[in-house]
Each structure stands twice: as C-alpha cells, then as structure tokens.
Amino acid sequence: MHTTNTDIDARTFAMWVRRICAVIIMVGALWHMPYGYYTLVRLATTLVCAGLAVRCYSASRMAWAATVAAIALLYNPVVPIYMARTTWTTIDAVTALTLMLLIPDC
C-alpha cells in the first residue's frame, strides 16, 4: 500500500491528539477524584502507550518501545497495580511529562 506524506502527517497528528488527551486526563488525576476517574486514567494511558509502543517498535526505537510498553503495563485496568495515592500522583506526573516531552515522534 502506498503511503503519502499527508497520511503520515495525519497519523502523527492523531497520535499527538491521543497523547495530549491522556496527559490532560492524567493531570486531572492529581486532584482527588472518584474511583471511576482513575479507571479512565488507566484505560486511556494503557491505550495510548500501547499504540506508542507499536509505533516506536516499528520505527526501531526499542528503548522507547520498552518504556511505553512498561507504562502501559503499569496502568493496565485489567490487572491493576495498587499503590498509595501519593505514589500514583508522582507516577502520573512523571508519565505525563514523559508522554509530552521525552518520547520522540515514532
């Protein structure tokens, strides 16, 4: 299948939109929210990071693929990992920064 520059730009834009949405949801988790909100955080972060892991792997950026895959596993809502709220607050902040600043476009 032939891919044009417009297709690549559209896919990159879509991934950025997903990342921004996940970050906004994560920033909301820094305040006290109902339990359902944290389930949304887990689901959104898992989906975005799983997608990023595939993209990074396809771009041969194995370290980044492993990093975002680990984040996806940490946030997965199927087998949740339970930690203190203060620990999750730190993890949410670091994950948000990682998604927005450190991960190169894959």
Domain assignment present for residue 78? The answer is yes
**CB proximity list for 42: less than 8 A, separation 6 or greater:** 75, 76, 77, 80
Q: Which tens digit of pLDDT belongs to each residue from 37-89?
A: 889 889 989 998 998 899 889 989 999 999 999 999 999 999 999 999 889 98
Domain assignment present for residue 88? The answer is yes
**Can you give the pTM of this predicted structure?**
0.78
How high is the pLDDT of residue 75?
95
> Is the confidence at residue 12, as pLDDT, over 90?
no
Domain assignment present for residue 64? The answer is yes
3-state SS string for 3-51: CCHHHHHHHHHHHHHHHHHHHHHHHHCCCCCCHHHHHHHHHHHHHHHHH
> Is the confidence at residue 1, as pLDDT, over 60?
no
- The number of domains in the chain is 1
Domain assignment present for residue 94? The answer is yes
Where in the sequence is the domain holding 65, given as residue range(s)?
A: 9-101
Contact predicate 68/106, CB 8 Å: no
Contact predicate 56/72, CB 8 Å: no
> Is the confidence at residue 2, as pLDDT, over 60?
no
Helix or strand (DSSP H, E) at 54: helix 35-58
